[in-house]
Amino acid sequence: AAIIARRLNAATKEIDNDPKARTAIEKFCESFENEILEDFNKAYADGEPRQMAHCAKVLSEFNGGTSCVQIYVNQHEFFMSNMAMDDMEQMRESEDNANLSNPDLPPPEVDTSLVKLYDDIRITVRREAGIISSVFPQPATVMQVLLQRVFAQSIQNHIEMLLLRSERYSELAYLRTLASTHAETKRLIENLKFYCDKEVPLRDAADINGLPTSASPDETLDRCMDDLFVTYTEGGRYLKKEQESLRKLFGNIVSEFLNAMQQRKITSVRNQSVLTRTLNQISSNSSGIMSPSTPSPLINDSVQYSLSGRDKESSNVVVVDENGFCLLAPDAVLSILNIHAEAIMRCVELEDAQES
């Protein structure tokens, strides 16, 4: 019946001299499709995969089954159960935010709300892979639609909210969130590839030339991953933010040292050692002409990081002689090295992924 209806529908395009016949055929085809869709919808609601498979096969033979796939995806419980508003507010004020802007503490793990979302996605895709493979004649196409919807509607919106929230705190918070979400999403992708390939192979029938008629789940997932993060990494956007963050963080640490050396330059112009003159020259080149009371221009007044691991009254410099000669404190040097090492790890995570 589906094949006959499809041929009748194709014949309407060639009927020019009998509009009544064309209209009648079009109405019949529309009624036929709606009836099968209702049967599929009822079987879907009742949890009857065999009846769903029958309807999906009929619609696939009739017009490719696109409408059937859309019903299956649009009415899926994963998309119907939206996050409640109080849960969204809780995510905005999550306790995971506390240490994101503190360079003296290790970067926190990925936000717990994203972990929960990804766990739900793993459960859903793993279950649906088995259902889709047994119901639809072209399972890879259906899984492609489902995965694209998951990434576009659920994952993208969630990551955007996390990044917007962290960006309000500091550039460091934003960069840490970007790197952690990228790494966690990469792990999710690998899990989903396993579910859709190793556990339940999803393959569409080949065309008359033996070529696949749609992208494989692996290809779909790789494309979704690229589309998800390209807006944050393309054109050097990520590196520019990383450089700006390092400039502010390093400047915050060395400003006291640079100001101290500038003060010493003013108060002890004579009898300076070669080493002192060299350090003063470095100080001048790095920070410009500064008065003793003027903070280093490397510091942005709007960026003040709370260093909980260090007492507020402690100093980033160590005075080594009675003439006021000072050096960076060991803790300050260690902080610079740790901050730089963390930035390199983020760069490896985000830049290598972009190049691949």
Q: Are residues 209 and 145 in the same domain?
A: yes
CA atoms within 13 Å, Cβ hemisphere of 351 = 14
Residues 54 and 72 placed together within one structural domain of the fold: no
| Same domain membership, residue 203 and residue 168 | yes
Q: How many angstroms from the chain centroid is the CA of residue 76?
A: 23
**Nearest Cα residue to 356 out of 229, 198, 215:** 229
Expressed as residue numbers, the domain containing 39 is 1-64
Q: Looking at 186, 215, 233, which one is the last position of a domain?
A: 233
Question: Do the beta carbons of residue 77 and residue 147 sit within 8 Å?
Answer: no
- 318: part of which helix (H) or strand (E)? strand 317-319
Consecutive 10-residue averages of pLDDT for the chain (356 residues) = 53 60 71 87 89 89 84 81 50 63 89 92 90 88 91 92 92 95 95 82 55 74 93 90 94 88 70 59 56 43 38 68 80 93 94 58
Distance CA 102, CA 338 (A): 12
CATH number at residue 228: 1.10.357
Residue 55 falls inside a structural domain: yes
Q: Is the same domain home to 113 and 152?
A: yes
The C-alpha atoms of residue 293 and residue 111 are separated, in whole angstroms, by 41
- Asked if residue 142 and residue 84 are part of one domain, the reply reads yes
| 84 lies in the same domain as 225 | yes
Residue 239 amino acid letter = L
**pLDDT at residue 179, rounded to an integer:** 96
Co-location of 343 and 256 in the same domain: yes
**Geometric angle at alpha carbon 115, from 113 and 118, rounded to 5°:** 110
Q: Which of 233, 261, 289 delimits the end of a domain? A: 233
Model pLDDT, residue 333: 92
Burial class (CB in 10 A: 0-12, 13-18, 19+), 320: exposed
- Residue 307 is predicted with a pLDDT of 37
59 plus 84 within the same structural domain: no
pLDDT of residue 12: 56
Q: Scan for tokens 């054109």, then name that residue.
A: 235
Selection from 304, 175, 339 nearest residue 242 by Cα: 175
Of 233, 256, 277, which marks where a domain is finished? Answer: 233
Is 39 inside a domain boundary? yes
Residues 334 and 248 in one domain: yes
Residue 294 inside a domain? The answer is: no
Q: Which amino acid belongs to residue 149?
A: R
The total of other beta-carbon atoms located within 10 Å of residue 57's CB is 17
pLDDT in the model for residue 205: 56
* Contact yes or no for 72/44 (Cβ under 8 A): yes
Among candidate residues 175, 128, 155, the one with its CA nearest the CA of residue 225: 155
42 and 121 inside one domain? no
- Residue 295 falls inside a structural domain: no
CB 181 within 8 A of CB 167: no
Q: In the chain, what is the greatest distance between 2 CA atoms, to the nearest angstrom? A: 109
The answer to whether residue 316 is domain-embedded is no
Query: In total, how many domains does the chain have?
Result: 3
Residue 107 is predicted with a pLDDT of 87
Q: How far apart are CA 54 and CA 135, in angstroms?
A: 8
Q: Do 215 and 245 reside in the same domain of the chain?
A: no
Domain assignment present for 288:
no
The token duo for 111 is: 């936000």
- Whether residue 10 is found in the same domain as residue 111: no
Which residue is associated with the tokens 């550039």? Answer: 171
Give the distance, in angstroms, between the CA of residue 26 and the centroid of all CA atoms in the same chain.
45
Q: Does some domain include residue 191?
A: yes
The answer to whether residue 182 sits within a structural domain is yes
Cβ–Cβ under 8 Å, residues 261 and 280 = yes
> How far, in Å, CA of 64 to CA of 145, rounded?
14
Distances (CA, A) of 241 to 109, 128, 170, 248: 21, 39, 11, 11
- pLDDT for residue 176: 96
